[in-house]
Amino acid sequence: MEFLVSIQVNPGADGGTARWEGLMLDERRRGQDLQAQGWLRRIWRVPGRMANVALYEARDATHLHELLTSLPLWPWMDVAVQPLAQHPLERPEASPPPPAT
């Protein structure tokens, strides 16, 4: 099942710069793991914000929740999730419309 996930990171003042840099490194590593496992399909940065939009593949909504909460920056995230359904044009049996006569 595919999900469109929008994430806004809201860094807190707790922990200081060194801790935050460590969290960012851990976040990158975890994201790379999710990509390698095929769960994180695509990801885009939202310019000018500490935010991204990503396409996730997960078994179901519970599995997606487990993936998202495994991210080190989870405590500082505002997350919006949209489950996606296949569009009829994307189905293999979809054929092009007949030519106009």
Q: Per the structure, how many domains does the chain have?
A: 1
7: domain range?
A: 2-85
| Res 65: pLDDT | 98
Task: List b or e across 66-96, with b for residues whose CB sees 16 or more CB atoms inside 10 angstroms.
Answer: ebbeebbbeebbeeeeeeeeeeeeeeeeeee
Domain for residue 94, yes or no? no
Indicate left, alpha or beta for 71 from its phi (over 0: left) and psi (-120 to 50: alpha).
beta
DSSP letter (8 states) at residue 22: H
Domain for residue 22, yes or no? yes
Domain for residue 100, yes or no? no
Domain for residue 42, yes or no? yes
CB atoms within 10 A of CB 31: 17
CATH number, domain containing residue 6? 3.30.70.1060
Domain for residue 97, yes or no? no
Write phi, then psi, for 42 (nearest 5 degrees): -145, 155
pTM for the whole thing?
0.83
List per-residue pLDDT tens for the chain, 101 residues long: 999 999 999 987 665 677 889 999 999 999 999 999 999 999 999 999 999 999 999 999 999 999 999 999 999 999 999 999 999 998 877 666 677 76
Domain for residue 95, yes or no? no
